[in-house]
Structure 1
Amino acid sequence: MKRFERPAPAQFDPPVETIEPVRLTSPLVFSSPHSGSLYPDAFLAASRLDALTLRRSEDAFVDALFLPCVDLGAPLIRAVFPRAFLDVNREPYELDPKVFDGPLPDFANTRSLRVAVGLGTIPRVVGDAQPIYKQPLSLTEGLARIDALYRAYHARLEALIERARGRFGRAVLIDCHSMPSNAADVGGLDIVLGDRFGASAAPVVIETLEMSLRGSGYRVRRNKPFAGGYITEHFGAPSGGVHAVQIEIARALYMDERLIVRNERWTTLRDDLFMAAKALAAEVGGAAGSTRLAAE
């Protein structure tokens, strides 16, 4: 089923897709905010980079990796628009002055660490700090993207979380991402799980995922170098019955990072992620899961 919250630019109609289970039976919600791969012609024309280079900022195929988890009775939401065009895992107005052709409004956050490296809500760079645009954008264009696309994604995700909390008394958000395998701070890891150092989820959530993934042979670390982005921080509120964990998967596990095509290990990883999600669904579902989440 496809849903969107408000009118969007014609090239993104709809800007957000929701894949619903046949029956909603789990408090899990899966989010893939960076797997969008629709690049408008006007955006490509305005970029100094070719399409393949732009795509290296994507969490390519991550939505498809987690798609089988819908069979656990949980929805999956994914962005249609690409991360290089708009990043919903940022504050809504985390804006980089170097992207725009004029002054920014007072409410913009222009001093975050993410803005400093060119990775604000509307990114300035991709990959190894490669500038995206030939010319600065107008502020009108940037705000239009936020109004139509950012707000649509967050409104839909919030609705799915609130539905789960209303139905089951809690919601467990799994925010799904990938990471470059050759990044210096990744250090040979396969998967990084982030729960804001315990602030965004009860321990049982990250413990269950870690145990299952380690049991499948993956090298897993918690909260370093990724403790969870804005989505995890914004939605994770264990005391309010919402638990959020970010999962970062090394891209070499499932794809050729240069060509952006799936490799022979794709199916194994997809199946192992499903088993980890299944273990979590069993742990946090039903009365027993509710008790343990509340206790922690």
Structure 2
Amino acid sequence: MTPFHFTAGTLPLLVSIPHAGTQLTPEVDAGLSDAARGLPDTDWHISLLYDFVRDLGASVLIGHYSRFVIDLNRPPDNQPLYSTATTGLYPETLFDGTPTFAAGKTPDAATRQEYLETIWQPYHQQIQQELARLKAQHGYALLFDAHSIASVIPRLFDGQLPDVNVGTNDGASCSPAVTDAIKAVCSAQTRYSWVVNGRFKGGYITRAYGQPAQGVQAVQLELAQRNYMDETPPFTWQQARATQLQTLLKPLIQAFLQAGKPV
């Protein structure tokens, strides 16, 4: 399987979806623990939830492989992004701390290096190429990194996660105007709880490519999955909840597009 699916759009916006993939390599498929077999840490249905951005004219990049093969939102040197509990470039544990692989079944270093070269690098090369194209065409580029996660994971955060978790690398990945516009959209509604730069400040993609001074603004959005799907297997899509959530996502994207324009 190819590492990703990419569709070029007409707007200065690239929507990246790195964690929706479920494809496994033979080595990972053979080695997963029973707890990991159902791919519980997948960003389930995110591609479907954000399908509306295609009609708007956004470019869309979707990773095909499971994060259990290699995590596209971690740095290639596997340095931790958070001082609190997290998972790495090659996740050894699930979000709840359970081992990802059965004893003695972890892919070896050479195999994982191949994943870096044939899965991780092509995805990031596509991001770089598309951002360059958008800058050449529009004079600037916007990157929206779309994620979701179960709303209760004690190992990663206390209590229940807010519904909408915006990450801007503590303001470094986008302009204050973009942050203010997103906050305004969130503040204008009361159905969903929200936070900016809370537990999730943005992963490697947001931090690496969000460079406002160079004409690239990046925002990560981590959604609590309870608002559009069932958080327990088989992780069923819930259309009514998803449709309601899109009434917030659509103005958030529009606000990003409007506020991200150069002054």
Could you tell me the TM-score, scaled by structure 1's length?
A: 0.80
Alignment match of 2:54 (pick from 70, 74, 83):
70
Shift of 1:167: 1.1
Aligned to 1:206: 179
Supply the distance in 2 between the matched residues of 1:140 and 1:93 (Cα, whole angstroms).
15
Contact preservation (8 Å) 1:114, 1:120: no
> Does structure 1 residue 219 correspond to structure 2 residue 187?
no
Cα distance in 1, alignment partners of residues 8 and 207 from structure 2: 24
Retained in 1: the 8 A contact 2:41–2:149? no
Pairing 1:53-132 to 2, within 5 Å after superposition: 53=38, 55-94=39-78, 109=79, 112=80, 117=85, 119-132=87-100
Matched-pair identity in %: 27
Q: Once the 2 structures are TM-superposed, how far is the Cα of residue 261 of structure 1 from its aligned partner?
A: 0.9
Match of 2:137 among 164, 167, 174: 167
Aligned residue number for residue 262 of structure 2 = 290
* AA in 2 matched with 1:257: E
Match of 2:223 among 213, 227, 249: 249
Does the 8 Å contact 2:81/2:203 carry over to 1?
Answer: no
Asked if the contact 1:91/1:230 (under 8 Å) is kept, the reply is: yes
Quote the offset at 1:267 in angstroms: 1.7
In structure 2, C-alpha distance between the alignment counterparts of 1:129 and 1:241, rounded to whole Å: 39
Higher mean displacement: 132-141 or 33-42: 33-42
CA distance in 2, matches of 1:186, 1:162: 40
Per the alignment, in what secondary structure is the counterpart of residue 228 of structure 1?
coil
User: Once the 2 structures are TM-superposed, how far is the Cα of residue 270 of structure 1 from its aligned partner?
Assistant: 2.7
Alpha-carbon distance between aligned partners in 1 of 2:171 and 2:85, rounded to the nearest angstrom: 26
Structure with greater Cα Rg: 1
Alignment RMSD: 2.1
Q: Structure 2: state its 5+ residue gaps.
A: none
What is the DSSP-based 3-state SS (H/G/I as helix, E as strand, rest coil) of the residue aligned with 2:20?
A: coil
* 1:7 equivalent in structure 2: none
Per-residue deviation at 1:215? 2.5
Q: Among 181, 206, 209, which residue is 1:235 paired with?
A: 209
Alpha-carbon distance in 1 for matches of 2:123, 2:225: 24
Q: Does 1:268 align with 2:252?
A: no
Counterpart mapping for 1:121-200 below 5 A? 121-134=89-102, 135=104, 136-183=106-153, 184-185=157-158, 187-200=160-173
Name the residue aligned to 1:16.
4
**Paired residue secondary structure (1:131):** coil
TM-score (norm 2): 0.89
Deviations 1:60-84 (A, max 9, x none): 1112211211222210101000111
Query: Is the contact between residue 56 and residue 257 of structure 1 (CA under 8 Å) also seen in structure 2?
Result: no
Q: 1:42 to 1:142 in 2, by over 3 A?
A: closer
Q: Tell me the CA shift for residue 252 of structure 1.
A: 0.4
SS in 2 for 1:261: coil
Cα distance in 1 for residues equivalent to 2:83 and 2:107: 16
